[in-house]
Amino acid sequence: MATYSATNYLANGAKLRSSSSQPEWFTLTYQVPTTLTLASADVIKFGKMGANQQIIAYALGANGSIAAGTGNSTLTVGSTNVSGNIADFGGNDSTVGAFTSVDHVSADNDDLFVTLGTLTTATTSGARSVNLRVLVANQEMQPSQANTPFTFPTLA
């Protein structure tokens, strides 16, 4: 098992947080070095989370193949697996997306990372990247509009 870090993770002070009253999408990429072969249980750190944030949905994929199969990979915030098992996403230009399966709230500076599942026939060279898109919401966010009451019409 090895740990790799995306450029955003390495940037000083760059934290993922929703800055508006609505959830926001963030796109993060780990560029796999051309001579690196990823292995089962490798960890890719994509970013740091701001305090009181929730990941609502995600899309995880590969640009170029990293392996024929990626087994049961997981998306984690801090120490909480928020995705359950993510089926194969590692094929050429494939993406798997879903809503998160676990209610969670990030602490300030929590790592956002993917742990690769069991890789089958790992790709050993070439231009490849692992791409993660996350929909982030502030736990304390308020509705953008006040609720408007309505009544159903009665049938005559």
Q: What is the pLDDT of residues 102-143, one digit of tens each?
A: 888 898 989 999 999 888 888 877 888 899 999 999 876 555
With respect to residue 76, please indicate whether it lies within any of the assigned structural domains. Answer: yes
- E strands present in the chain: 3-5, 15-16, 24-32, 43-49, 53-63, 67-69, 74-77, 80-81, 95-99, 111-115, 120-122, 128-138
For position 63, what pLDDT does the model report?
84
In the predicted model, what is the mean pLDDT of residues 89-101?
78
CATH number of the domain encompassing residue 106: 2.60.120
With respect to residue 46, please indicate whether it lies within any of the assigned structural domains. Answer: yes
**What is the span of the domain harbouring residue 8?**
3-138
In the predicted model, what is the mean pLDDT of residues 13-20?
77
With respect to residue 39, please indicate whether it lies within any of the assigned structural domains. Answer: yes
CA–CA gap between residue 16 and residue 49 (Å, rounded)? 5
With respect to residue 110, please indicate whether it lies within any of the assigned structural domains. Answer: yes
Poorest-confidence range of 19-23, 42-46, 69-73, 143-147? 143-147
More confident residue, 31 or 126: 31
Hunting for tokens 């304390």 — which residue is that?
140
For position 150, what pLDDT does the model report?
52
Residues facing 69 on adjacent strands = 120
With respect to residue 148, please indicate whether it lies within any of the assigned structural domains. Answer: no
With respect to residue 155, please indicate whether it lies within any of the assigned structural domains. Answer: no
| Chain mean pLDDT for the chain | 83
With respect to residue 20, please indicate whether it lies within any of the assigned structural domains. Answer: yes
The pTM of this model reads: 0.83
With respect to residue 151, please indicate whether it lies within any of the assigned structural domains. Answer: no
Our count of domains for the chain comes to: 1
